[in-house]
């Protein structure tokens, strides 16, 4: 790999925001390592970007081991922890939230991102890289039915916050993209029309601006990131 070519790991890259970011970074000549559960769609993204693709669930330790081997000792400029699970749909209130489902949500949305970062921090430190953990307004707001998902994103926000304090040489962000027209958002509102939500591609410029400008580590909302016209 040429020394000046940036390298990124993107989870949840087969659809939605992860796919949109992968396509945008490939256009900017990044080398990509992508992972997602949807093998067919992941292959489509791989073909479009030239990425190294691993089909699998980030909650599976064996898949994370594959990712760690793929990262190796090469430089790594970005980890985008985008893969998430909503949990049960329709969204249950907490008084009847299945605890085994909550454990699965926490495993995917909290444990897996931390495990991936534990494996990739040496490569990130070697290149002074960037971590972006995808957050949500459900992490800070009290919305009926969003207790499981929101709790997982609040936990991820705090892990991100502490990781930034422990790694001041890196840029480590919680990034809230806002509502988007994605399959997961549709699952949160089954049977409803969500066509008024913006497409994931519309949020990518805010993330790219964050990566390029490298402000201090912290929590950023896409709607508040100023992108030059």
Domain membership of residue 228 (yes or no) is no
Contacts of 28 (CB under 8 A, 6+ apart): 208
Q: Is residue 56 part of a domain?
A: yes
Q: What is the structure's pLDDT at 144? A: 95
Confidence of residue 179 (pLDDT cuts 50, 70, 90): confident
pLDDT band at residue 136 under the 50/70/90 scheme: very high
What average pLDDT does the segment 1-28 reach? 91
Task: Decide if 2 is inside a domain.
Answer: no
pTM assigned to the model: 0.94
For residue 198, pLDDT over 90 is answered with no
Instruction: Report phi then psi at 50, rounded to 5.
Output: 75, 15
Of 21, 8, 82, 48, give the one whose Cα is nearest residue 209.
21
- Of 201, 179, 200, which Cα lies nearest the Cα of 189? 179
Taken in order 150, 212, 114, 116, the sign of the CA dihedral is: positive
Q: Would you say residue 1 lies in a domain?
A: no
Question: What CATH number is attached to the domain comprising 41?
Answer: 3.40.50.720
pLDDT at position 3 over 60: no
Residues 71-84 have pLDDT tens digits of 998 889 999 999 99
């Amino acid at each position: 790999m040429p020394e000046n070519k940036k390298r990124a790991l993107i989870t949840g890259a087969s659809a939605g925001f992860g796919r949109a970011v992968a396509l945008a970074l490939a256009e900017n000549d990044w080398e990509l390592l992508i992972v997602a559960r949807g093998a067919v769609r992941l292959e489509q993204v791989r073909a479009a970007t030239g990425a190294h693709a691993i089909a699998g669930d980030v909650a599976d330790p064996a898949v994370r081991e594959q990712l760690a081997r793929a990262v190796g000792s090469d430089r790594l400029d970005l980890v985008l922890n985008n893969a998430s699970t909503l949990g049960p749909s329709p969204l249950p209130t907490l008084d009847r939230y299945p605890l085994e489902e909550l454990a699965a949500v926490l495993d995917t949305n909290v444990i897996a991102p931390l495990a991936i970062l534990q494996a990739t921090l040496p490569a990130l430190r070697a290149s002074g890289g960037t971590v972006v953990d995808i957050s949500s307004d459900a992490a800070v707001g009290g919305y009926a039915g969003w207790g499981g998902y929101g709790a997982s994103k609040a936990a991820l926000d705090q892990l991100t916050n502490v990781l930034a304090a422990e790694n001041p040489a890196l840029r480590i962000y919680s990034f809230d993209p806002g509502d988007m027209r994605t399959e997961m958002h549709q699952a949160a509102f089954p049977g409803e029309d969500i066509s008024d939500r913006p497409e994931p591609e519309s949020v990518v410029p805010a993330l790219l601006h964050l990566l390029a400008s490298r402000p201090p580590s912290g929590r950023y909302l896409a709607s508040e990131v100023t992108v030059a016209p």
